[in-house]
Structure 1
């Protein structure tokens, strides 16, 4: 009992740091490109000039830490906007769900869109090596999500990897397992 009391006394003395008021760490760039080069790389849906079919480039060109950070910030804003009343009585499944739980529906749509984007990034690769690189990048992003305690992001990525179209890529998964450190 004495040990517990001493430990509790030490815990009370610890300073609680509020990280929201701090400036965020500097972004991590995988490739250094200027604005015109980014326009040539990003698909048109993201403000670039390339066709929307080339969705895998941002996944492979951006650093996994930065992808995880930005998605975590987006998902935090969505999570923070959900009100407790939107969760009561399965309001998101009723006929008037748009009025009863609009923020929760935004969060659900975001999750589905990210999952579909990751699936397309893996499936739309032109060759085996690119597919292995894309799937490895997804695993790296999942590790970053875990470090950031973003379990929604982990769910999005794991849902994409467990989707029927990605799950059956057995040779790709075997190569990713072989390349990743133990």
Structure 2
């Protein structure tokens, strides 16, 4: 599995982020973060300058909540038929010069690496908690094998620096 230790995820590609520290360093204010609903409005007329990371990133919250409200088969269909095409439009609009970042605050506890096939699984909330779901396949489509773990140095409660898995990143959807 590929590990991403630099900050390219802040400027390019697609990211699922769950580190509050990384989000705080990325966004100067919560006004820089938009909702899924706003993302669907904005995708019809992308702005010239994005609100985050010196105009190079768009941070979106609410994907996690959307996934928690629907069944895994419905989530897979929705990500494939609605969210992936939106991501492709974003990629076409900004080429490789911008990042679309999905903030999923409980991702640290709910995303796991599946070593058998180098994918990432998502643990749904009840009543679908026990159903397996490959979030990397559903969100990144055929490019899911190119997704990597974002690893950063973070400070723990005792003030010690440690390597922490803070999210997933894919440079480009094929």
Same fold (TM over 0.5): no
TM-score (norm 2): 0.33
Structure with a larger share of its residues in strand: 2
Structure with a larger share of its residues in helix: 1
TM-score (norm 1): 0.31
Q: Which has the larger radius of gyration?
A: 1
